[in-house]
């Protein structure tokens, strides 16, 4: 589309009171800056020029580890002398024939649709501004229009007259330019203002004096142009973002018990007739098949949940893959590497890790199954643990089909349990069990008659 994007992300974010660069603070499970880059990618930007300053090494390190599809041209602004100065650092790297959009790393919810419309206007006029009418314009630059309703200037609040401060149409900061004209206008900027900075917004008045008509696009969504300067604003924007995700899911046919109590922090794929109860958190990349039911207070991280699965309250699943019709919880924890066959059941206060559990198998209560292969139709009794760690190395437990494990059993890995074997309750299994055998490994009971309990002296 012959478009470049300049993203301003050099600010320190003093009011965040954080050692983390402001643009790396997460919203919806990823840094604010990542949202902005996604919007730039959605409009097919040829190159994204990322202007950084404060802790630029930390910002760059993050995106080295999480690369984006379009090349990033890293530009460092060593002195923060205003938005105009920041754009000056990147503008020479943009071809004069291109349309260039200026975005902000702390304005994360800008929509690709608005950027496309703004680009179209700039391609006609050479400059275009995204504006918003707001009830409270305090602290924001005002849009100055002439008698013909044409934009002729943008005045920052610190430089505005009392009359201008009454204007409720504000500058969002997001602008689009013909790159060649932008470079000319940038060369005319000066610091003769209340903050002693180079204002990018001064290009509007300069463009008007050169005979250009300034294009404008008004957004009616205050959240898409809301900048984040402190953690309260970030929290407010997070809730707005999450409410938007919940509404979209509901429109896709998902039953959302309370849109105000759902967090989606990554890509989510859903089937038909999915139900999400309150306080569900979906983090990372998740897939929910048809007729999946998620109970209250459930956390899913990078999970693949098959059709007809039921996940009951207060369960925590990470890196788990479930086939169809599994039941999980309540209060279950499935750690990475857990794979369940169809109709498998993991009950309350059960933890699994790197465990492949076959179809129809059950681990119902108070158990830990780690580094294990469990075949079909196995019943594991309450209080069973796989002793997989010897203090140095992890070892595997193999349980073949049809095995019955009695309650309060310890399986000391490495160990294999043969098909249809039975283990008596309270056993400590340290050797392999052949198929169809009964294994009982516990101390012999001894009853002492006439026993008297000690009494307190």
Q: Which residues are catalytic?
A: 365
Are 71 and 49 within 8 A, CB to CB? no
Distances (CA, A) of 453 to 444, 447, 457: 22, 14, 13
Q: 436 — alpha (psi -120 to 50), left (phi > 0) or beta?
A: left
Give the pairing type, strands 415-417 and 397-399: parallel
d(CA 4, CA 97): 10
Cβ contacts of 209 within 8 Å, gap of 6 or more: none
d(CA 289, CA 280): 16
Hunting for tokens 């305090």 — which residue is that? 138
The neighbouring-strand residues paired with 177 are 100, 127
d(CA 176, CA 341): 53
Give the pairing type, strands 99-104 and 3-9: parallel
3-state helix, strand, coil in the chain (%, to 5): 20, 30, 45
d(CA 36, CA 59): 14
Q: 310 — alpha (psi -120 to 50), left (phi > 0) or beta?
A: beta
d(CA 290, CA 62): 35
């Amino acid at each position: 589309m012959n478009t470049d994007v300049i993203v301003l992300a050099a600010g320190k974010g003093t009011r965040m009171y954080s050692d983390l660069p402001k643009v790396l603070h997460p919203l919806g499970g990823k840094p604010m800056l990542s949202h902005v880059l996604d919007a730039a990618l959605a409009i097919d930007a040829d190159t994204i020029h990322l202007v950084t300053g404060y802790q630029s090494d930390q910002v760059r390190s993050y995106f080295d580890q999480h690369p984006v599809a379009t090349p990033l041209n890293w530009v460092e602004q060593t002195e923060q002398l205003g938005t105009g100065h920041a754009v000056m650092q990147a503008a020479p790297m943009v071809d004069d024939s291109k349309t260039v959009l200026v975005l902000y790393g702390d304005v994360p919810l800008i929509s690709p649709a608005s950027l496309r419309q703004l680009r179209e206007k700039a391609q006609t006029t050479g400059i275009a501004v995204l504006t918003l009418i707001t009830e409270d314009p305090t602290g924001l630059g005002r849009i100055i229009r002439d008698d013909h309703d044409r934009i002729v200037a943008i005045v920052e609040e610190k430089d505005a007259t009392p009359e201008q401060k009454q204007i409720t149409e504000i500058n969002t900061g997001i602008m689009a330019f013909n790159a060649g004209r932008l470079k000319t206008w940038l060369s005319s900027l000066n610091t003769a203002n209340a903050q002693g900075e180079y204002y990018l917004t001064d290009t509007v008045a300069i463009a008007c004096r050169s005979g250009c008509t300034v294009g404008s696009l008004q957004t009616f969504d205050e959240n898409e142009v809301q900048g984040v300067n402190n953690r309260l604003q970030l929290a407010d924007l997070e809730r707005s973002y999450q409410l938007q995700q919940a509404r979209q899911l509901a429109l896709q046919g998902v039953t959302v018990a309370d849109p105000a109590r759902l967090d989606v922090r990554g890509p989510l794929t859903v089937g038909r007739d999915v139900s999400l109860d309150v306080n569900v958190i979906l983090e990372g990349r998740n897939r929910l098949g048809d007729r999946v039911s998620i109970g209250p207070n459930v956390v899913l991280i990078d999970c693949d949940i098959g059709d007809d699965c039921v996940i009951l309250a207060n369960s925590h699943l990470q890196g788990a893959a479930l086939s169809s019709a599994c039941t999980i919880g309540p209060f279950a924890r499935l750690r990475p590497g857990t794979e369940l066959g169809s109709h498998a059941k993991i009950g309350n206060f059960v933890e699994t890790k790197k465990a492949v559990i076959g179809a129809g198998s059950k681990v119902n209560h108070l158990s830990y199954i780690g580094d294990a292969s469990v075949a079909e139709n196995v019943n594991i009794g309450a209080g069973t643990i796989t002793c997989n760690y010897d203090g140095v190395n992890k070892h595997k437990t193999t349980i073949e089909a049809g095995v019955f494990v009695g309650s309060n059993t310890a399986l000391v890995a490495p160990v294999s349990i043969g098909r249809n074997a039975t283990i008596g309750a309270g056993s400590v299994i340290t050797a392999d069990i052949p198929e169809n055998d009964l294994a009982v490994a516990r101390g012999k009971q001894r009853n002492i008659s006439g026993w008297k309990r000690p009494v307190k002296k």
